Copies of this chain bind each other. A is one copy, B any other.
Amino acid sequence: MKFSFELIKKDSSARLGRATTPHGSFTTPVFMPVGTKGSVKGITPHELKEMGVEIILSNTYHLYLRPGHKLVKELGGLHGFMNWQGPILTDSGGFQVFSLCKLRKITEEGVQFSSHLDGTRYALTPESAIEIQEALGADIIMPLDECTPYPAGREYTVESMNLTHRWARRCKDAKTANGQALFGIVQGGMYEDLRKESARALVDMDFDGYSIGGLSVGEEKGLMKDMVAATVAHLPQDKPRYLMGVGTPEDLVYAVEMGVDMFDCVMPTRNARNGTLFTRFGKLVIKNAQYEKDPQPIDGECGCYTCRNFSRAYLRHLFMAGEMLAPRLNTIHNLYYYTSLMRQMRQAIGDGTFDEFKKQFHGQRQEAALLGD
């Protein structure tokens, strides 16, 4: 089965859609939990399914280094290896090379780098990034790109963007015919006109969807919003848009409002492991002394396994005692929160009430802030 995307309904710029992949469909806007090394940390595929997760992301860089894409392919591809039967998206590995690796060298050909694990030299080219991702077998794959650093001057940004475009073309050419969808990644740094140029260049190449890269890299929220707007304006309505590595619940709400369809971020999972829990009213830091004897669940209206079964006091105890159950129960809650937030947004778009949803979303947070909660 080939990848397809259907735009079901719009509410102003916000979009309700459905993507179909060889491993089933998912509805958008959607949040993809990150399973870096072929596992969403501490969580089984069945739990992901139970909490309403429809698609997950895994990192090519990490799987390439360990256990290796050939091994994964031999064991049934990523779906068989980790026993997740739903859609999977893999990134190209480029972002990790730029953020994790020392001694990296970018040439026209590709990027050379030292593994962050043991210093072994590796190379990644547009062609090998595709080869690796075809071996992993994800439903949606990404071309190798250079995530333009922030801040970057205009000259560097232009060069970097053009390299990303040439690499995108090579990835498209390298891709062998199969059911995997290949997205284009829009770069262009913090320059609105370059974002437009990048979007148009990639749209001309005709990808299955478009990723917005190079954001949430340290810039101010306002600047990020401007760049999302400057990109989205030049993307076609009939293809999915994916804002890479974003973000907070607030980010998801405004980006959905601007017409973004897909998101991934380590925030819900990483914060969970650090004891920071997301709720309707904002963040809750479970180690705080105020929760020591608190018999309430994290959120009395949350339907997640953690909230249905355990008190803040118990979760605080597990966290303070360094118990393995703490990150697990916290992750279940945070992913359920993110999944539910997306579901509520899909519902609101479908009902044509996204504006009301947004007011309620921000209202609950402001109210809690006023109460000092």
Query: Which residues in A have some Cβ–Cβ distance to B below 8 Å?
Result: 37-39, 41-46, 62, 66-67, 71, 74-76, 81-83, 292-293, 295, 305, 309-311, 313-314, 316-318, 320-321, 323-325, 327-329
Contact = CB atoms under 8 A, between A and B. Distances in A.
A292 B67 contact: yes
Contacts of A311: 75, 81
Contact of A66 (B71, B76, B314, B320): B320
Nearest to A66: B321
Nearest to A324: B42
B328 A42 contact: yes
B71 A293 contact: yes
A324 B325 contact: no
11 contacts: A37-B323, A38-B317, A39-B324, A42-B328, A44-B329, A45-B309, A66-B320, A67-B313, A67-B320, A71-B293, A83-B310
Which of A43, A45, A75, A325 is the most central at the interface, judged by chain B CB atoms within 10 Å of its CB? A325
Which of A38, A43, A66, A305 is the most central at the interface, judged by chain B CB atoms within 10 Å of its CB? A38
Contact of A39 (B39, B46, B305, B318): B318
Given A311-B75, A317-B66, A43 B325 contact: yes
A41 B81 contact: no
How many copies the complex holds: the figure is: 2
> Which 10 pairs across A and B sit closest by C-beta, in order of nearness?
A42-B324, A67-B317, A39-B325, A37-B321, A39-B323, A41-B324, A83-B309, A75-B313, A81-B314, A42-B325
A227 B354 CA distance: 73
Contacts of A323: 37, 39, 41
B42 A295 contact: no
Contact of A324 (B317, B318, B324): B324
Given A44-B325, A75-B314, 9 more contacts: A39-B324, A41-B324, A43-B325, A45-B309, A46-B309, A66-B321, A67-B320, A71-B292, A83-B309
Contacts of A81: 311, 313-314, 317
Nearest to A273: B324
Contacts of A74: 293
B83 A41 contact: no
A147 B373 CA distance: 49
B313 A71 contact: yes
A314 B82 contact: yes
Nearest to A331: B324
